[in-house]
Chains A and B, each alone.
Chain A
Amino acid sequence: MTITEDVAILPEGIAWGLLIAFSILWVFLGWFLGRKNKTAEDHMLAGRNVGLALATATAMATWVTANTTMTAPQLALQLGVWGMFGYSLGALGLILFAPLAKRIRELMPHGFTSGDFIRLRFGKFTWRVFLVVSLIYAFGWLVSLAMAGGVLINALSGIDYRVGMTIILAVCVLYTLLGGLRAVIGTDFVQTIIIILGVAFIAWLTIDKVGFEAIHFNLMEERPELLNLLFPAAIMFLFNNLLFGVGEIFHSNVWWSRAFAFGRSVGFRAYLLAGLLWLPIPIVAGFIALATPALGINVPVADMVGPLVAAEVLGLTGAIVVFIVVFAALASSLDSLLAATSDLVTRDIYRGHIRKSASQHEQFRATKVIVVLLGLLTWAAASYRGELPIIGSLAAVLYFTGAFVASAIWPVVAGLYWRRANPTGAALSMIAGTTLGLVSYFVIGFYVAALVGAAVSLAVLVLFTWIAPRDFDWRSLAEAEPRGTAGATGGVR
């Protein structure tokens, strides 16, 4: 289902103008911020000295994404009030990662990727299982972000889904190529300010124009279960979403690369602050979907509800604000993910498996080639939105990866804190957790996949560690120099 240009709220000319203006802005910032990059370490970790303000902004902006600005309204429409409150529990992922970020920085002062940690802590077999989990997740997230870009532009302006998706993806690939993590963090700061102001503006105007009473009355009349606190699927969803968020953040190189990039005492405070600032955003963004019955608008596809309601209530101004906010939110996450995933592929696949003697210059070049390849693969998959079972809606794509990431929570936590965690148990916990999580995804629904994955993974790892504990010396993480570190600090130009 697509919106046609004759029923779209944003005139096509204005949409193209905004698209071009913000594309130029992000690409210019990417070039401007990235021009100081002299080494691979600059490009991948922004010199390892990011301060508190930028660190908090990048953590928050990256976590405010298509998931927040578009999937939160979708979940409010599908699962009611628990849908949006449950979504806000994703903040706990950032908050709980705060102590982990501190420990990661202390244990691995020369670390580059989450893959480095798993390889040094648990060995090659667990490392390879972890890479599969991590790359499937990263790809699923990339596809959902690209889809969100296309949906947004189509819902507001009627411009073809594939055209919008292609432009947003191309812009993010371009400025990530130009600026690396430094550009990603710099643009995140600007995007955070736009997101906070824009979301608050939209929610305030929605309440002002529709009113709580009308929203409540129409929900009770037409969609009463959305207000039911005993909505079964929504109850199942609550901890599922919490564990999904925790799994996403704990394992993903997006967050590990920031833990390595932030200054020594910055990581803990930055992640804590970012989590607290992020907490209300899904509720504010999701709330507007509950106004759907009061407005009497049709929602052709659930993931379009946010932009559709905002544009309907707020007219042209609202459509423009939504367009800018979601474009900023998408770009801030898409660039982070492209940068972090290309780092992971470069170091753990290219240098770890394919070309172990790759020079610094070759790695630097490989990072850029991989960003382009990731962009192309994402584009190909996102082109099949609605045509393949899993690539149905944003939530369907995103929560499919829930089984994978939630099963990686325990290998990361045990790896950082349990001296006797069993390496084979860590690998098998991811395999068993993912398998049973996927079974529950298809048999029960997307709202339990992460929960089942996390529970099974915990049981397997505890069992193996109890039966066959293995001692580990934490100092070996700091002493053992992750592959390529020495070269990574050298010049490449």
Chain B
Amino acid sequence: MTTERMPNPALLWALLLLFWLVPGGSSLAEPAFDSPPERDSAGFFSLDWSGAERFELEQATGPDHADARIIYRGSDTSTTISGLSDNTYRFRIRAEGAETWSDEAVVVVEHHALSRAFLFFALGAAVFVVLLLAIVRGRKLA
């Protein structure tokens, strides 16, 4: 025979009170990014978010957001970012009309090294030249 232990009602009330009092407890319903990337080397990535009807998305480069600009305002819940140069980018999201930003995503854009890019370019060019030669020579022999 087992004895089930009932939780202490006082403890439950204390936890509930703590949850209500802690700042940000209510931010569960506020807009937030959904698994934003931390680094990007391809030069393009997407940002997803949720938590409101309409949103404002801001992009900046410095931690003080001095150069910030709103890049989207509306009801979509994702965007495609591309064409950015190497830098650290800070994206903030909030419900449209809200005074404070509710979440921030920091993405480091660091493109592949040019040496690596040209290595693949040279490899591709070599394969292509061999292919051309194989077809031209093959046609003659055929």
Contacts and interface: CB of A to CB of B under 8 A. Distances in A.
Given A7-B75, A240-B124, A302-B80, A232 B117 contact: yes
B6 interface: no
Contacts of A454: 127
B123 A451 contact: yes
A305 B127 contact: no
Contact of B74 (A77, A231, A298, A302): A298
A455 interface: yes
Contacts of A416: 138
B82 A223 contact: yes
Contact of A300 (B42, B79, B111): B79
A376 B132 CA distance: 39
Contacts of A96: 131-132, 135
A292 B114 CA distance: 27
Contacts of B42: 78, 233, 445, 447
B72 interface: yes
A4 B121 CA distance: 42
A1 B48 contact: yes
Interface string A215-253: 000010011111000111111101110110010000000
Interface string B30-42: 0000000000011
- The A interface, classified by DSSP as helix, strand, loop or mixed, is helix
B87 to A, nearest CB: 11
B74 to A, nearest CB: 6
Contacts of A7: 75
A301 B114 CA distance: 28
A232 B128 contact: no
A232 B113 contact: yes
Q: How extensive is the interface on chain A, given as a class?
A: 35 or more
B19 interface: no
Contact of B131 (A1, A219, A413): A413
Contacts of B135: 96, 99-100, 413, 417
A226 B42 CA distance: 12
Contacts of A80: 82-83
Contacts of B139: 99, 103, 417
A222 B114 contact: no
Interface string B102-118: 00000000011110111
B111 A243 contact: no
A79 interface: yes
Contacts of B127: 239, 243, 451, 454-455, 458
Q: How extensive is the interface on chain B, given as a class?
A: 35 or more
Nearest to A74: B80
Contacts of B121: 235-236, 238-239
B20 interface: no
B138 A413 contact: yes
B88 interface: no
Interface in B26-78: 41-44, 46, 48, 72, 74-78
Contact of B77 (A239, A300, A444, A445): A300
Given A77-B82, A223-B82, A447-B42, A239 B76 contact: no
B14 interface: no
Given A78-B44, A239-B127, A246-B131, A1 B112 contact: no
A270 B59 CA distance: 50
A231 B131 contact: no
Nearest to A235: B117
B66 to A, nearest CB: 17
Contacts of B41: 233, 445
Interface of B: 41-44, 46, 48, 72, 74-80, 82-85, 111-114, 116-118, 120-121, 123-128, 130-132, 134-135, 137-139, 141-142
Given A224-B85, A239-B121, A413-B138, 14 more contacts: A4-B75, A100-B135, A103-B138, A224-B83, A225-B43, A225-B111, A232-B113, A236-B116, A298-B72, A302-B82, A409-B131, A417-B141, A418-B138, A455-B126
The 6 closest A-B pairs by CB, nearest first: A239-B124, A223-B83, A417-B138, A232-B117, A226-B83, A232-B112
